[in-house]
């Protein structure tokens, strides 16, 4: 990549997909100026018009699903069937934003709680803070973009987006659809610029809201640079699943395999740590190995593929080294551990320890560790023994254990009888500890992008 041009290549095979001019500094400055001016228009667009735009985008995303899926598969290396599901989810995200906008309510606040306030009452409404700077990752280039653009449109805020350098095509396609739906051109700009250039946007006081999804190192640094801004961070994790002896082991094993290995594990909520009640460890292990053995690894454009390439050969090499390091420390490879180019075969490790990188860090790859526990409380402690806290899954038929997990686990969401990899696009999604701050899901992101304003009326 040069300073003047972004070359987009396919992760699988290295085919050149596109050459996109990188805008010079003066064009970036112009984009910010136009977004600021556009805010004066978007903040007063009527609710029914914003709803119509959101629903039109949703319908068009659904109509173009297959074309968008091929774009996602080509630039991100996501298996075609998973890419198709992502396009459908993006449509659902815009629909959820429309529904959340229609459901918004103001608040009437009685103020005459003492004699000095007699005759006064208040009205509270939420107003947009200003243009939103959206910084998006490669792994869900369409839907994670939608999670920033749809709520911004809903509240009447312009968006300036910096997509991942490896996956700008999905964002550019979404912008085309959004503008065709009637959103002002200056109110949604995609800037394929470097991370260093994006830092200037982060510091720009005219962009009061930052919505970032990506690595923890980058996210927390950006937040430290602008302590007075509204900054929402969706960062990484090393998600755990607990499988107790009373669980449906067939279901738990199938879902764990899917949650660990789909899209080569390149999701911040991929199953990375599987903790299994010792009495059923052997049975679960065999079922997990069997489920993993059915997965097809290879070309993401092949309809049969379940596990495609990692985003870059260097990432596959990194994970291969982490696995080798774990083995040197006493871990056992039950399956996988090898790679061919960008493809890392689904890998299951046993006898790992919390200090190993494959447990302690975010592996972001098709790797899961498998270890036993003797007591449910021990399992919960081990889930919490992490600097991350995004989501966790618990498989058990015991409602008391589910309630205990809900009370104790230090995560943004607990999923009962499911893996942490599951997400509905309208739910509040986000983490605690080093997994981030703030919440996504259109209704919740709309709160992140706005602030309450009070009108006091004296009668």
The CATH number given to whatever domain includes residue 50 is: 3.40.605.10
Q: Please indicate, yes or no, whether residues 229 and 251 belong to a single structural domain of this protein.
A: no
Q: Please indicate, yes or no, whether residues 252 and 221 belong to a single structural domain of this protein.
A: no
Which single residue is written with the structure tokens 């774009």?
71
Question: Would residue 357 count as lying in a domain?
Answer: yes
Q: Please indicate, yes or no, whether residues 124 and 244 belong to a single structural domain of this protein.
A: no
What are the backbone dihedrals phi and psi of residue 326, each rounded to the nearest 5 degrees, phi first? -65, -40
- d(Cα 325, Cα 318) in Å, to the nearest integer? 11
Tokens coding 374: 């003797």
Q: What is the mean pLDDT of residues 428-443?
A: 97
Q: Which domain holds residue 349?
A: 240-424
Q: What is the mean pLDDT of residues 182-202?
A: 95
Per the CB < 8 A criterion, the answer to whether 421 and 271 are in contact is: yes
The SS3 assignment for 430 reads: coil
- d(Cα 91, Cα 139) in Å, to the nearest integer? 17
Q: Is 268 a catalytic residue?
A: yes
Per the CB < 8 A criterion, the answer to whether 142 and 170 are in contact is: yes
Instruction: Point out the catalytic residue in the list 268, 342, 359, 434.
Output: 268
Q: Please indicate, yes or no, whether residues 213 and 348 belong to a single structural domain of this protein.
A: no
> CA gyration radius for the chain?
23
Please state, rounded to an integer, the average pLDDT across all residues of the chain.
96
Q: Please indicate, yes or no, whether residues 40 and 139 belong to a single structural domain of this protein.
A: yes
For the chain, give the percent of residues with pLDDT over 90: 96
Instruction: Point out the catalytic residue in the list 60, 86, 234, 448.
Output: 234
Question: Would residue 429 count as lying in a domain?
Answer: no
Rounded to 5°, angle at Cα 4 from 315 and 223: 55
- The pLDDT value recorded for residue 2 is 42
Burial group, residue 416, by CB count within 10 angstroms (0-12, 13-18, 19+): middle
Q: Please indicate, yes or no, whether residues 319 and 351 belong to a single structural domain of this protein.
A: yes
Q: What is the mean pLDDT of residues 58-79?
A: 98
- The pLDDT value recorded for residue 5 is 85
For the chain, give the percent of residues with pLDDT over 70: 99
408-426 pLDDT per residue, tens: 999 999 999 999 999 999 9
Instruction: Name the packing angle between helices 65-76 and 80-103 (round to 10°).
Output: 120
Question: Would residue 172 count as lying in a domain?
Answer: yes
- The pLDDT value recorded for residue 32 is 98
Type and span of the H or E element at 150: helix 143-155
What are the backbone dihedrals phi and psi of residue 132, each rounded to the nearest 5 degrees, phi first? -105, 130
28-45 pLDDT per residue, tens: 999 999 999 999 999 999
Q: Please indicate, yes or no, whether residues 313 and 186 belong to a single structural domain of this protein.
A: no
Q: Please indicate, yes or no, whether residues 389 and 442 belong to a single structural domain of this protein.
A: no
Number of structural domains found in the chain: 2
- d(Cα 97, Cα 90) in Å, to the nearest integer? 11
Cβ-based neighbour number of residue 107 at 10 Å: 11
Compute, in degrees rounded to 10, the torsion defined by CA atoms 169, 144, 368, 400: -160
- The pLDDT value recorded for residue 297 is 95
How far does the chain reach from its first CA to its final CA, in angstroms?
64
- The pLDDT value recorded for residue 146 is 98
Question: Would residue 167 count as lying in a domain?
Answer: yes
- The pLDDT value recorded for residue 1 is 38
Q: Please indicate, yes or no, whether residues 321 and 375 belong to a single structural domain of this protein.
A: yes
Q: What is the mean pLDDT of residues 344-372?
A: 98
Q: What is the CATH number of the domain that holds 392?
A: 3.40.309.10
Which single residue is written with the structure tokens 């067939």?
250
Q: Please indicate, yes or no, whether residues 302 and 390 belong to a single structural domain of this protein.
A: yes
Separation in Å, CA 310 to CA 91, 217, 229, 275: 25, 20, 34, 25
154-166 pLDDT per residue, tens: 999 999 999 999 9
Question: Would residue 430 count as lying in a domain?
Answer: no
277-321 pLDDT per residue, tens: 999 999 999 999 999 999 999 999 999 999 999 999 999 999 999
Q: Is 234 a catalytic residue?
A: yes
β-bridge partners, 429: 440
- d(Cα 202, Cα 128) in Å, to the nearest integer? 18
- d(Cα 175, Cα 182) in Å, to the nearest integer? 11
Question: Would residue 268 count as lying in a domain?
Answer: yes
Separation in Å, CA 136 to CA 16, 191, 350, 385: 22, 11, 34, 28
Q: Please indicate, yes or no, whether residues 214 and 328 belong to a single structural domain of this protein.
A: no
């Amino acid at each position: 990549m040069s300073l003047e041009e972004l070359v987009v290549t396919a992760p699988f095979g290295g085919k050149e997909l596109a050459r996109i001019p990188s805008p010079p500094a003066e064009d970036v400055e112009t984009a910010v100026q136009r977004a600021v001016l556009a805010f004066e228009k978007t903040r007063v667009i009527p609710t029914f018009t914003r709803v119509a735009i959101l629903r039109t985008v949703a319908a068009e995303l659904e109509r173009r699903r297959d074309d968008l899926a091929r774009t996602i598969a080509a630039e991100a290396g996501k298996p075609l069937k998973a890419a198709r599901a992502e396009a459908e989810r993006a449509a659902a995200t815009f629909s959820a934003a429309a529904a959340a906008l229609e459901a918004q309510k103001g608040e009437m606040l009685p103020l005459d709680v003492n004699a000095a306030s007699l005759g006064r009452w208040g009205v509270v409404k939420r107003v947009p803070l200003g243009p939103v700077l959206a910084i998006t990752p490669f792994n869900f280039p369409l839907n994670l973009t939608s999670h920033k653009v749809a709520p911004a449109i809903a509240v009447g805020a312009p968006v300036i987006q910096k997509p991942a350098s490896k996956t700008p095509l999905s964002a550019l396609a979404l912008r085309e659809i959004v503008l065709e739906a009637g959103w002002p051109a200056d109110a949604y700009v995609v800037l394929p610029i470097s991370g260093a250039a994006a830092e200037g946007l982060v510091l720009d006081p005219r962009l009061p809201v930052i919505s970032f999804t990506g690595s923890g190192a980058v996210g927390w640094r950006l937040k430290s640079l602008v302590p007075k801004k509204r900054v929402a961070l969706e960062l990484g994790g090393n998600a755990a699943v607990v499988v107790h002896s009373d669980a449906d082991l067939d279901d738990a094993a199938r879902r764990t395999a899917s949650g660990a290995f789909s899209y080569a594990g390149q999701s911040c909520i991929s199953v990375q740590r599987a903790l299994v009640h010792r009495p059923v460890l052997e049975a679960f292990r065999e079922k997990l190995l069997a489920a993993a053995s059915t997965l097809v690894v290879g070309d993401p454009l092949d309809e049969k593929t379940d596990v495609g390439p990692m985003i870059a050969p260097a990432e596959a090499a990194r994970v291969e080294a982490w696995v080798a390091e774990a083995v040197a420390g006493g871990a056992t490879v039950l399956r996988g551990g090898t790679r061919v180019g960008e493809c890392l075969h689904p890998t299951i490790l046993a006898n790992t320890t919390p200090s190993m990188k494959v447990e302690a860090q975010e592996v972001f790859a098709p790797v899961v560790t498998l270890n036993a526990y003797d007591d449910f409380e021990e399992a919960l402690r081990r889930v919490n023994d992490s600097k991350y806290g995004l989501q966790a899954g618990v498989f058990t038929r015991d409602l008391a254990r589910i309630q205990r997990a809900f009370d104790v686990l230090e995560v943004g969401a607990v999923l009962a009888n499911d893996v942490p990899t599951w997400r509905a696009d309208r739910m509040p999604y986000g983490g605690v500890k080093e997994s981030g701050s703030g919440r996504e899901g259109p209704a919740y992101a709309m709160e992140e992008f706005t602030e309450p304003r009070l009108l006091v009326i004296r009668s």
